[in-house]
Amino acid sequence: MYGASGYGGVELLRLLLQHPDVEVRQATSRDAGRRLDAVHPGLRGLTELVLVDSKPEALEPGLDAVFFALPHGASSEVVAAVAARCKNARLYDLAQDFRVGAEAQGWVYGLPELFRDRLADARKVACPGCFATAILLGTAPALCMPPRPKRIIVDAKTGSSGSGATPKEGTHHPTRVSTLKAYKVFSHQHEAEIKDAWRRLAPAGEVPPLSFVPQSTPAVRGIYACSYLVYDDVAHGNTADAYRRFYQGSPFMRVLDEPPNVADVRGTNNVDIFVQDGDGVTVVISSLDNLVRGAAGQAVQCMNIGFHLPEDRGLRLPALVP
């Protein structure tokens, strides 16, 4: 795998090193030459791997899968060379490089509950962003059944780990530990992939307008997205029951009778959803762990499907408490 130093990379390793059907052969990092458990002491006793250089020629050519847990924009610089080196490997990218507009290059958008049939044979999978995962899973059922909302308004909160391991002004945890603020109002990068996925789901590709306000919170992990589905009619059926039917058979989807708590999904691949109908509006609250379900866990889930393993193999994880 590429990018063992970051939060997404170490979370991916935590899952893969304990997966009963996976052997982690190599991990790349800017710390090449160091033992992996020296860089991430939390992995002591799970691996004796030594980090390798990120040059594609350093990879074993017989790898079955390669994961890219790199900063946005970095995967596209090496993926062609990796594919040429590891000709039989399935590729899983956790960044945003191939989420929109890369279908012609063979990339499949890796949101299993919505595109499971395409993932079984996918050789290249672009794993969704954390906000996009929460919002799409919270809105997709409504777009697939009449009556469809005429507008969707979302406010969604994220923890500081979503900004990565490198401290930046405004995202470093000490600067946000006691505050809450909106950012990238109506201009977040995940909007493009949300709308792109909506077009594949909605009949004739007709999608409602999206108004999305992301907010940073003092939490370390978690996405908490409130999606407001606005309808023309005051009454539009029992939406919660429809969501339960839509996600029947999806092992990580839990439609609740009360609003979710992000603590109940921390460290897991689960998505908790609450649906409440009102007068002309339905609110759908979706909650997930941004590092697991919003990144590493979702990539492993896609890998399981691609290698015809049980979808929840190695991912049945209890929440971290407290």
What letter would DSSP give residue 203? G
Alpha helices of 88-238 — where are they, by DSSP H? 112-119, 130-143, 173-176, 190-201
The whole-angstrom separation of Cα 143 and Cα 207 is 8
CA dihedral 260, 273, 190, 73 (to 10 degrees): 80
Residues 263 and 217: beta-carbon distance below 8 Å? no
Confidence of residue 255 (pLDDT cuts 50, 70, 90): very high
Identify the sign of the CA torsion 270, 302, 152, 205.
negative
Residues 209 and 151: beta-carbon distance below 8 Å? yes
User: Could you give the angle at which helices 130-143 and 239-246 cross, rounded to 10 degrees?
Assistant: 110
Above 60 in pLDDT, residue 266? yes
Above 90 in pLDDT, residue 45? yes
Q: What is the mean pLDDT of the chain?
A: 93
| Token couple for 117 | 């049939």
CB atoms under 10 Å from CB of 124, counted, come to 18
Q: Which domains does the chain have, with CATH numbers?
A: 7-128+293-306 (3.40.50.720), 130-289 (3.30.360.10)
Beta-carbon-side half-sphere exposure of residue 2 (alpha carbons within 13 Å): 27
Sheet holding 107-109, edge to edge: 65-68, 90-93, 124-126, 107-109
Cis ω for the linkage preceding 141 (within 30 of 0)? no
Specify whether 130 is catalytic. Answer: yes
The whole-angstrom separation of Cα 18 and Cα 47 is 10
CA distance to 128, 156, 175, 181, per residue, from 184 (Å): 18, 12, 18, 10
pLDDT (tens digit per residue) in 117-138: 999 999 999 999 999 999 999 9
The whole-angstrom separation of Cα 242 and Cα 83 is 41
Q: What is the reported pLDDT for 194?
A: 97
CB atoms under 10 Å from CB of 116, counted, come to 16
Residues 124 and 131: beta-carbon distance below 8 Å? no
Q: Which of 129-138, 160-169, 259-268 has the lowest mean pLDDT?
A: 160-169
Tell me the one-letter amino acid at 182. Answer: A
Chain-centroid distance, C-alpha 248: 20
Q: What is the reported pLDDT for 179?
A: 81
Q: What is the reported pLDDT for 204?
A: 80
* pTM of the predicted model over 0.75: yes
For 273-302, give one letter per residue: b (16+ CB within 10 A) or e.
bbbebeeebbbbbbbbbbbbbbbbbbbbbb
Q: What is the reported pLDDT for 29?
A: 86
130, 144, 226, 302: the active-site residue: 130
Q: What is the reported pLDDT for 40?
A: 94
| Token couple for 14 | 């935590």
